[in-house]
Structure 1
Amino acid sequence: MLTDEYVKRVYAQVEKRDGDQPEFLQAVQEVFESLQPVVEKHPEYEKAGVLERLVEPERVIKFRVAWTDDEGKVQVNRGYRIQFNSAIGPYKGGLRFHPTVTESVIKFLGFEQILKNSLTTLPMGGAKGGSDFNPKGKSDAEVMRFCQAFMTELSRHIGQFTDVPAGDINVGGREIGYLFGQYKRIRDEYSGVLTGKGLEFGGSLARTEATGYGLCYYTAEALRVLRNDSFEGKTVIISGSGNVATYAAQKAEQLGAKVVTVSDSNGYIYDPNGINVDVVKQIKEVERGRIKEYAERVPGSEYHEGSKGVWSVKGDIALPCATQNEIDGESAQQLVDNGVTVVCEGANMPSTPEAIAVYQKNGVLYGPAKAANAGGVAVSGLEMSQNSYRLSWTFEETDAKLKSIMETIVANSLAAAKEYGHEGDLMLGANAAGFVKVANAMVAQGVL
C-alpha cells in the first residue's frame, strides 16, 4: 500500500506513462512500498527528483535483428538494451533470449538490477537486455548467426567502461562466446566487455556456479542470523533446471540438505532420495534435453506434468529458480501448508505480490531476488576486476569473495531494515540499502 504523497505521485506518473508494462509496474510498486520510510527520512531525495529519475531509464535501445536460418530463410527478431542507471558505475546486467521478452520484462529486470548491483557493494550501474529469439531447437550455426547479428547492433552501445552485459536465461557460455567474438571482430579490441566468458578468453572461475551458490550462501546466513538454524537436515524444493537451479541444488546438498525437486517449463521431477545433480547437468547442459528424461534414468524418481505442481511438494525450504511470477498466492499457501518456512529467490521476481503477502502473514523467512540472487552479478563484477588486472583468481579465492559478499548483503539489509523501523524485514532492508547508495550518488552528481 502506497501512503507517502511523494511516492504516490511518482508511481501515478509511472502508471500513466507505462500502463501497458505490467511486469515493470509490479517491480516499481514493490520497491516503492519498501522505500516509503526511507524517503520520509530523507526529504532531500524529493527535492532532487530522485524517484522520478530512478524509474526513467537513461537510455532505451530497441533494434531489429535479421539473421538467416539453416534453410536460407531470413528471420527477424527484436533486440533490446535498456541502460537504466549509471550513478555508481558502468551499466551492468544480463542478456535474455526468450520468446517472452518484451520491453516491459527488460525494464523490470533492469530496474531490479540497479538495486541488486548496489547491494553487491561493487561499482556497477543497472541495465538489462535481450531478444525474443529462442535458442532452443536451433542449430549451433543458427545461434551463432543470430548472436553475430545481435552484437553487430549492440556493439555501438557497450564497452568495458560504458556497459558490460552478461548472460541470463538461454544465454550461456555458447552464446556469450559468439557475442564476444563478434564484438572483438567489429571493434578490433580485446576487452572485458562481456562477463560469463569462457575460461580460455577472460572468464572467471566460479562464475557458472555463482548465482546458485550465492543463493545458498545468502539463505544459510539469513537462517543463521534470524533463526539460529542451517540447511543441515532440511528438505529443499527447487524450481528450474538451468544454471541457477542446478548449482543451488549442488550447494544445498553440500550444506547438508536434501533437494527433492527440479523442473522445467513442461513439468517437474520429484526424487525422494535427493536430486542427482550430475544427471541434471548431463540432460540440461550437455544434451540440452527436457527434465522428464531424468525419471527415465534415475530409479525411484517421478516426473509430473505441469511446472506449478512443484509447489505442492512437502519441504522446509523453497528456492524458486525458474522465472518471474512462478509462485502466485495459491502456490505460496500450498508451500506454507506443506511446511515450508523459508523462501529465498534464485529467479528474478518469481513471487507475485499475493505470494509475498502470504509469506509475510505466515512468518516465512523471505529473501527477495535482488538480494538472494545477486551472486551472479557479484562474480561478474569480480570477472571485470580480473580482466582489468589481466589476471585470474583461483576458484577458492573467487568463491570466498562471493560468500563474503552474500553475507554482507544479509547484514546490510538487516541493518537498513532496523534503521527504518522494520527490524528483520529482508525485503524492505534490501530495497532500502540498495536504494540509499544509488540515491546519494545521484544527488551528489547533480541533475542528470
Structure 2
Amino acid sequence: MESALGPRLVRDPDLIAPYARDTSRAVDEGTPLAVVLAESTADVSAALAWADRFGVQVSVRGAGTGLAGGAMAYSGGLVVSVDRMTAILDIDVANRLATVQPGVITADLDAAARRHGLFFPPDPASARMSTVGGNIATNAGGLRCVAHGVTSDAVSALEVVLADGRVMRTGARTRKNVVGYDLTRLFVGSEGTLGVITEATVRLKPVPPGSPRTFRASFPELEDAGRAVTAIVNSAVRPEVLELMDSLSVEIIESFHPSGLTAPAGAMLVGQTVGWDAQVQAETITALCRELGSDDTEISETDALLEARRLSNPALNARGLKISCDVGVPVAALAEVFRGIAQISAQHGKRVSTVAHAGDGNLHSTVESPDTPEGIREADAVIDDITRLALLLGGTISGEHGIGSVKRHELAWQLDPVALDVQRAIKDALDPNGILTPDRAI
C-alpha cells in the first residue's frame, strides 16, 4: 500500500487525530493505524484491497460532519478520507446532470449549478460544510426536502469501490433505467458499509423564476404549529422550505448569533416559497397559520430567517448539546409527537430543544444535560423515549442522519428479524471479511 499511495498515506499520530472522529457524541475507539488521503478512485481501490487482504477495519470519512458516529476511526484501523476528492467533473446543462467526486461541498455544487441556471436540490442545514458523498452515504434530506425529496431522489449513477478494491458503476444518465437490481439506491444511505463512493452523477433542477419569499409564523403553543404544518402540507400551496424551531431552539440560536429574533412562547415556523406567485403563496400560508393560532407573522424578501435555522447545529454544539436524535413521523402526527416530547421532557426533568424539517415530519430533538457520564446517560434515556414515541406514531428511528454506532441499539425497535437478516446477508455478500465500517449502520 505504501508504494501505491506514497505521501497520501499518513501515519503521524498528530496528523491522524483530526480524521479519527466525527461531530457525534460517539466515544473514541482508539488511534487508527493510518489515514489514506485519497485523491482518486485508484487510491481508494489500493487502500481497500490492502485492508481486505490483511483484515484491517476501515472507516470512511468526508468532512466529518456526521452526527451518528459513522465516521469514527477504529483502534488499529485504517481511515479512508475522501475530503481531497473535490472536483466537479462535469455539469451537463442539457441533461440537467452534474458529475462530482465525493468530497465536493454540497453548497459549492449548488453554487456551480446556479451559474448555469440550475440548482442541486438536496439542502441539509450543514450544506456549507457537508459533502455530496456524505449526503449520499446517509441519504440526507434537508430544508428543501418537502418540495424535492431526499438525496436518493437526486442520484442518477455512482462509481463505488467495493471492499476488495474492485470498482463498480451503477445507474445511468437516463431518466429511466430498469436494468437489473437498483444498486444505486442500495448504496445510497448505506453509510460506508457496502463500498466507498468515489464519483456520483446527480440530477439538477432549473432555478425557479421570480424572487423567493421567506415567511415566519410564531405560535404561542407548539402543538398548534404542528397542526399548521399538517394543514399547509395538505393545502394547495407548495412551499419549497417548511421548517420549525421550538422556543428553546430560537433562544439558543439567538444567544449564539444575535439577530433580533424574538423567541415565541411555543414555536416558530419558517419557510420559503418560490416562483412567480411566491408572494401570493406566502400570504396564503401566513393567513392559514393565523387561522390556526399564530399570533405573529412576517413575509420577507431576504433569507435571514432561514439563516437562523441553519445555525441550529452550530448553536447547539456551542452550548455543549450533542445528545440528539432525528426521528421521523407521519406529518399528520406532528401535533401528537410535540405533545409527547413535552411530556417526556417533564417526566425526565430535562429541557428538550426541537428543530424540524417539518414539511416531511423529520424532527431533530436535543436534550439539555450536563456533559458528564451521568448527564449523558440521563439524556440518552430521554432520546430513547422520544424514539419509541416516534415508532408508536408510525415513524422511524432516523430520518436522515443515519444509524452509525450511536443509534445501532435501536435497529431492532423498527426492523423485524427477517429484515435484519436480509440486510446483514447483503453486507456479508459485498464485504465477506467485514472490513468496511463494521458494527455500524446495520
The alignment's TM-score, normalised by the length of structure 1, stands at 0.31
Greater helix proportion: 1
Q: What TM-score, normalized by structure 2, do the two folds share?
A: 0.31
